[in-house]
Amino acid sequence: MPKNKKITRSAADKADLGEKVMAKIRSGQVKMKPKWLFIAGSVLSLAGLIGLSVSAVFLINIVFFLLRKHGPMGHWRLELMLNSLPFWVPVAAIICLVGGIWLLKKYDFSYKKNFTLIVLGFIFSIIIAAWLVDAIGLNERLLKGGRMRRLYQQLEKQEETLPRGRGNGLYRKNIQK
């Protein structure tokens, strides 16, 4: 095919491209999404990110609470922990963290910064926040009153019951005597 013919075809393709796009717009086949949709999207994403962070703080805080509440019997501590720890807590915390990080990555600003640093900072700040909540005694306040009272009391009760593993029945009998 001669070169000039190819150039003509290419130019026609490009002109055609513009016409095709405009024809779709004019016919109403393609419509602009309303502005409120984007505003709602941003607000919901931000709320989701905050919600996930708060949930992660709360769930990690429960782990701190359980760790602290276990008695002075050192050798029983690990077993007690493993038996009474609600494993959904760390799993849910990790899911929340991953979700939060994913949302962070979706945000425009994240690629401009050192992403590893953002992720590490995010995890570190959540653990610190959870530890602070535990250290300032918010758990105790929630245990005594407030909306989360039932959950904390349930966790405390769970911790007081003896481990349900093998041979623990014997241990329970001895204690009861």
Partner 1 sequence: MVKISKLSDEQLVDYIRGKDKEAYVEIVNRYKDRLVRYATYLTGDNDNASDAVQEAFIKAYINLNGFNTKKKFSSWIYRIVHNEAMNLLRRDNKELPMFKDVDFKSGVNLEEELIKKELQAHARHCLSQMPLIYREVLSLYFLEERSYEEISDILRIPIGTVGTRINRAKVLMKKICQKTKK
For binding to partner 1 (CB under 8 A), which residues are involved?
A: 3, 6-7, 10-11, 13-14, 17-18, 20-22, 24-26, 30-35, 37-38, 41, 111-114
- Our CB check for partner 1 shows the closer of 40 and 151 to be 40
Find the shortest distance in angstroms from Cβ 28 to partner 1.
10
Q: Residue 137 region, left (φ>0) first, then alpha (ψ -120 to 50), else beta?
A: left
- Our CB check for partner 1 shows the closer of 33 and 147 to be 33
Find the shortest distance in angstroms from Cβ 125 to partner 1.
21
CA distance linking residue 57 with residue 129, whole number of Å: 6
- Our CB check for partner 1 shows the closer of 121 and 137 to be 121
Provide the 10 A C-beta neighbour count for residue 3. 7
Find the shortest distance in angstroms from Cβ 44 to partner 1.
14
- Our CB check for partner 1 shows the closer of 10 and 168 to be 10
What are the CA-CA distances from residue 109 to residues 32, 84, 103 (Å)?
25, 41, 11
Angle at CA 77, nearest 5°, toward 169 and 54? 115
Provide the 10 A C-beta neighbour count for residue 55. 18
- Our CB check for partner 1 shows the closer of 83 and 110 to be 110
Find the shortest distance in angstroms from Cβ 91 to partner 1.
30
Find the shortest distance in angstroms from Cβ 120 to partner 1.
16
Handedness of CA 52, 56, 57, 62 (dihedral sign): positive
